[in-house]
Amino acid sequence: MLNKRIVLTWFERAAESMAANKDELGILDAAIGDADHGINMDRGFNKLRSELPKMEDLSLGEMLKRAGMVLLSSIGGASGPLYGALFLKGAITVGDANELDAAAFMTFLATGVAGLVERGRTEENEKTMYDVWAPVLREYKKNLDAGMGLEEILKACVDAAETGMKATIPMLALKGRASYLGERSIGHQDPGATSSYYLITALYESVRG
Ligand code: ADP
Ligand code: MG
Ligand code: MG
């Protein structure tokens, strides 16, 4: 079950991870973008972390919605609206529930990622963060259908996220700033795919406890 306590821990861990990997994300973005992805993610998740005490009394759905608003407005760049859409759209599915089982979290994730895709007008193999979220969703669904529990499902999703992240290296960028580089974008790992991997890892670790 995913509850408010786990979600707060998720955001806390994600903030730690974005801070710890700020330089790496910046270096990845320097190669095919404008070098600010680490700064953007660290700023957004640090802001979210500072809001956590105020969020404790919100319902789970309101908490996820609030996170989307904070990330949308404080990450900035291309990635802020995309992460914002993921949480804002996903939050709508939560309704009054204060706990999500593995199936309900699938609905959150699938709807959130659909929001991201709508916002980014992206498809797979365009070298973006969606190249992590798409295989993660597939892995999640496969394992949910096989009857696995949330923790086990997310463990498998971390591996799928890592594979998806690394698969962006040989891709030609077709969306965002990296696409301006054309063929020169090939051979570099996508920064947004990398921060998405960290976000999914933080989620798994929070559920595992
Ligand atoms: P900016 O490019 O505005 O500086 P960031 O550096 O924070 O923004 O984020 C760049 C990341 O955003 C990319 O690595 C990519 O994963 C993601 N991204 C950019 N455009 C799109 C898009 N249209 N769809 C999905 N993801 C995108
Ligand atoms: Mg950038
Ligand atoms: Mg920028």
pLDDT of 103 reads: 98
- Distance (Å) from CA 78 to ligand 3 centroid: 7
Tens digits of residue pLDDT in 13-54? 999 999 999 999 999 999 999 999 999 999 999 999 999 999
Q: Please list, residue by residue across 163-176, b when 16 or more beta carbons sit within 10 angstroms of its beta carbon and e when fewer do.
A: ebbebbeebebebb
Protein residue with its CA nearest to atom 24 in ligand 1: 120
pLDDT of 40 reads: 98
Protein residue with its CA nearest to atom 26 in ligand 1: 128
Given a contact cutoff of 8 angstroms between Cβ atoms, the answer to whether 157 and 194 are in contact is no
- Distance (Å) from CA 28 to ligand 1 centroid: 12
**Domains of the chain as residue ranges with CATH:** 2-208 (1.25.40.340)
3-state secondary structure of 174: coil
Protein residue with its CA nearest to atom 22 in ligand 1: 120
> HSE (CB half, 13 Å, CA atoms) of 152?
9
The Cα–Cα gap between 38 and 138 comes to 27
147 φ/ψ sector (left φ>0, alpha ψ -120 to 50, else beta)? left
For residue 100, which of 69, 135, 140 has the smallest C-alpha distance?
A: 140
pLDDT of 73 reads: 96
* Mean pLDDT of the residues in the chain: 98
pLDDT of 88 reads: 98
The Cα–Cα gap between 140 and 75 comes to 27
193 pLDDT band, cuts 50/70/90, is very high
pLDDT of 70 reads: 98
pLDDT of 137 reads: 98
- Distance (Å) from CA 37 to ligand 3 centroid: 7
pLDDT of 37 reads: 98
**Neighbour count for residue 70 (Cβ, 10 Å):** 24
Tens digits of residue pLDDT in 101-117? 999 999 999 999 999 99
Amino acid at 141: K
Tens digits of residue pLDDT in 162-181? 999 999 999 999 999 999 99
The percentage of the chain sitting over the pLDDT mark of 70, rounded to a whole number, equals: 100
Residues 6+ apart with CB under 8 A from 37: 25, 26, 28, 29, 77, 79, 191, 192, 195
- pTM for the structure as a whole: 0.98
The Cα–Cα gap between 153 and 139 comes to 8
User: Where do we find the tokens 């995913």?
Assistant: 2
Q: What are the pocket residues of ligand 1 if the criterion is a CB atom closer than 6 Å to any ligand atom?
A: 29, 33-34, 36-37, 40, 77-79, 82, 120-122, 128-130, 175-177, 190-193
